[in-house]
Amino acid sequence: MDALEGRSPFGGLRPGIAGLLESGIVELVNYGRERDGLIPLWVGEGDLPTAPFIRAAANRGLEAGHTFYTYQRGIPALRAAVAGYLTRHYGVPVDMERILITGGGMQAIMLTLQALIDPGDELVLATPVWPNIMQSAEVIGGRLCPVAMTLDPERGWTLDLDRMFDAVGPRCKALFVNSPGNPTGAVLSRDAMLAIRDFARQRGLWIISDEVYGRLFYAGRPHQPAPSFLEIMEPEERLVVVNSFSKNWAMTGWRVGWATAPASLGQIYENLIQYNLSGVAEFMQEAALTAVTDGEADVSALIDRCRAGRDLVCDRLSTMPRVRFAKPDGAFYLFFEVDGEADSRDLAKRLVDTANVGLAPGTAFGPGGQRALRLCFACSEARLDEAMDRLQPVLT
């Protein structure tokens, strides 16, 4: 019997599906989720529920009976509001015809890969990276070409662009870029983006730019977004930008996101949405509309909270001599290494057992991450302080 089929009582599964890896983050969550009093900093979400005015908008939609199938590309009011939001924040006109509402950023990624990657086509991406990106390429039979970043104490997690370009072979269809990055928090400079754009143009490649953490940027003017490919590419170029309501508006459980794609691909995405999901629920889109229209003060508060969380965690960990890290410029994660600990999966389990703190093991994030741990700092200072008190004896 095929070794992979041994993982299922049934034969006949597609090998690529039978061979999918369990998310290394979820594995740790399953290991520790029942522990009493555990401080969970392992998943990519904060500790605040969605704001009441957004929840109320969903309730209003439900009460009004908005429970039917709806527009596959998203309700027009939401698509227009998202286009306006992008135009405001990035200073370039974005037409609503480019906006496709999806089941979270996750589905925007999957639909985009479905549209672009044939079995055997290659996707070049920098790692460590969110495991779902690698596994969604596997689902559709794409071949991953990971390029490992390295942790430089001065410059942070850095990507060698020449190595990325060298990884592009004849079957490469797209470069996947995630800035600010999960798990590293690394932010690509505008110059790096220009170099990637020029290379992609020259080679006829697509750029899939995952910008779900684009507002969580700490290096510019207060509340200035991180550099975006939207700012440097034309509407009808080979660019898809992935975004989400999950992070900025604390809506992880809602599963609403969007892709910004060339308008000429509208019907392609409409078909893919129809055949994967058949549209995001209307009352949830109404809540997302309220979030993007009236939620800017909340986004600003979230950015400030995350910056404070980052500073607290970095200050506390810098007193622990075995811990090595560079302060991240974006996202809401610290991805740090611990001297003397080569296997982060073991270490993460040990931290659950001895410190009652849940961190994600770097082994989950592909080449370059094996020795590191990911900590989500989108939490109250009290919770982070308590977590640091618990981690100190183990990591010192």
Ligand X SMILES: Cc1ncc(COP(=O)(O)O)c(C=O)c1O
Query: Where on the chain is the footprint of ligand X (CB under 6 A)?
Result: 44, 104-106, 130, 178, 182, 210, 212, 244, 246, 252, 257
Q: What's the closest the beta carbon of residue 106 comes to ligand X, in angstroms?
A: 3
Please identify, using beta-carbon distances, which residue of 106 and 196 lies nearer to ligand X.
106
Sign of CA dihedral 13, 16, 17, 21: positive
Q: What's the closest the beta carbon of residue 107 comes to ligand X, in angstroms?
A: 7
Q: What's the closest the beta carbon of residue 11 comes to ligand X, in angstroms?
A: 32
Please identify, using beta-carbon distances, which residue of 90 and 176 lies nearer to ligand X.
176
Q: What's the closest the beta carbon of residue 120 comes to ligand X, in angstroms?
A: 24
Please identify, using beta-carbon distances, which residue of 228 and 244 lies nearer to ligand X.
244
Please identify, using beta-carbon distances, which residue of 257 and 361 lies nearer to ligand X.
257
The residues, ordered by sequence, that sit 6+ positions from 208 with a Cβ below 8 Å of its Cβ are 109, 112, 113, 116, 174, 175, 176, 177, 240, 242
Q: What's the closest the beta carbon of residue 257 comes to ligand X, in angstroms?
A: 4
Please identify, using beta-carbon distances, which residue of 246 and 344 lies nearer to ligand X.
246
Q: What's the closest the beta carbon of residue 209 comes to ligand X, in angstroms?
A: 11
The residues, ordered by sequence, that sit 6+ positions from 147 with a Cβ below 8 Å of its Cβ are 124, 125, 126, 127, 159, 160, 163, 164, 167
Please identify, using beta-carbon distances, which residue of 112 and 344 lies nearer to ligand X.
112
Query: Within 13 Å of residue 295, how many CA atoms lie on the same side as its CB?
Result: 27
Residue nearest to ligand X (CB): 104
Contacts 24+ apart (CB under 8 A), 281-284: 281/67, 281/70, 282/61, 282/66, 282/67, 282/68, 282/70, 282/75, 283/58, 283/60, 283/61, 283/62, 283/66, 283/67, 284/58, 284/61, 284/254, 284/255, 284/256
